[in-house]
Amino acid sequence: MRLNLFACLTAFSMLLSSCNGKQESGSNKNTTLLIETDLGNMKAILYDDTPQHRDNIIMLVKKGYYDGQLFHRVIKDFMVQTGDPKSKNAEKGEHLGDGGPGYTIPAEIVFPKHFHKKGALCAARMGDDVNPEKSSSGSQFYIVTGSMQNDYTLDVLVMTRMKLKKEEVFGKLVRANKDAFVKLSAALDSTAIKVLQDSLIDLTEKELGKYPFEMTPEQKKAYCSVGGSPHLDGNYTVFGEIIEGLDVLDKIQQVETSEFDRPVKDIRIIKISILK
């Protein structure tokens, strides 16, 4: 399953404990994973408020599902992806990304609490055109690397989000009222057309009020201190985060890749195990 990230343009309760790649969780209940790779080890936690994704990962880990799999897709300053079972025995240069367990998981987008800062574990999925419910792949996930942000880039992103969402909502309302517009146009009733149009604009503004466009101080701090991919926020399920080993994540994202974003030299998950 290819992750259609580029087709898509959070308050984060866990603050950074230092600049060395370690972060502290606000809860001791989260499941902790040890991800052993060819380039070193990472520790990650799974969030309890995305229970279907948490339980699915735990089930797959206990089966050894990820052991021996590759990071089959790596894009520097964006993300690294794994979870394709076909990658275990893949030939050199083979195009990967379509494998999975044969099921999807309903989206659990806890936004703005969880967001795409560096180290976030997020579920891959098919694009909105074939997957409007934003259901997640049954096994493939990506770890955000992203890039460093600043106040200006974040402000531009917020304005872009608002503009795109406004166009989306207004467009849906116009299409839903197409027959009314056609009828009024045929009657040359410009006054009624203006009234209908204004009513749809009002409905659009009310709908936009439901979306948390503005970034919280916690989001801004994370994006401006460790970086991330904020344009993905609210569109993919974020179900965990790396708490140790961001330096290993950096090593993975730096490797040479082919035209399909597959590392030229395989980067393999040796084993994923549950620590607690």
pLDDT tens track for 172-209: 999 999 999 999 999 999 999 999 999 999 999 999 88
- Residue 98 is predicted with a pLDDT of 95
Half-sphere exposure of 99 (CA within 13 A, CB side): 20
Mean pLDDT of the chain: 89
Max Cα distance, the chain (Å)? 71
Report angle CA 29, 30, 34 to the nearest 5 degrees. Answer: 130
Query: What pLDDT, on the 0 to 100 scale, is given for residue 18?
Result: 31
Least confident of 28-32, 150-154, 232-236, 261-265: 28-32
CA angle 234, 237, 240 (to 5 degrees): 120
Per-residue model confidence (pLDDT) at position 9: 30
Least confident of 2-16, 26-40, 68-82, 254-268: 2-16
pLDDT at 4 over 50: no
Under the banding of pLDDT at 50, 70 and 90, the label for residue 5 is: very low
148-160 pLDDT, tens digit each:
999 999 999 999 9
Angle, to 10 degrees, between the axis of helix 190-208 and the axis of helix 178-186? 160
- The yes-or-no verdict on residue 23 having pLDDT over 90 is no
Rg (CA), the chain: 21
Q: Identify the bridge partners of residue 115 per DSSP, sorted by sequence position.
A: none
Q: How many Cα atoms occupy the beta-carbon half-sphere of 245 within 13 Å? A: 22
CA 64 vs CA 54, 60, 106, 177, 271: distances in Å: 15, 6, 23, 52, 7
* Residue-level pLDDT at 19: 32
